[in-house]
Amino acid sequence: MNSQTSKVYLFIHVITCVKNKEPLLTKPVRTVLFAHIKKHATENGINVLSVNGTDDHMHIVVQMMPTQNLAQIMKSIRTDSSAWINDGNFIKSHFEWEEGFAALSVSPSGIKQVLDYLEKQEEHHKTKTLESELEVFQKIQI
């Protein structure tokens, strides 16, 4: 199979938090921020399938290409989005993302379920905290 006919299905679900988990991403900010992130990603060859979140964190699902690196993708998205928020004075204080992030690979057969989960973030977090959501990562054993 040559590179012209390669089929690559690398789906990654990333969770990244606002620095100190401050609840700075109000609904109006999230609405414009997530649209901006999708636009920036497209302009930079990053295929964002979905982005959503709540006041203190963001979920993003990307389809990576073989030549891409997840750390570089997230650095591009987070650096651009934090500069965009700060330059646009969308919030009163200085905005930063936490240094690290959590990432899970997603099977092509499970991608629809993950995208549905992202779509319902506000509803989901009415009953579950970010900490309980992140506990899933602690329970994964290989």
Which domains does the chain possess? 10-108 (3.30.70.1290)
70-129: per-residue pLDDT in tens? 999 999 999 999 999 999 999 999 999 999 999 999 999 999 999 988 888 777 666 776
- Asked if the model's pLDDT at residue 37 lies above 60, the reply is yes
- Supply the pTM of this predicted model: 0.86
> Would you state the pLDDT for residue 122?
74
- 102-106 and 57-64 beta bridge pairing: unpaired
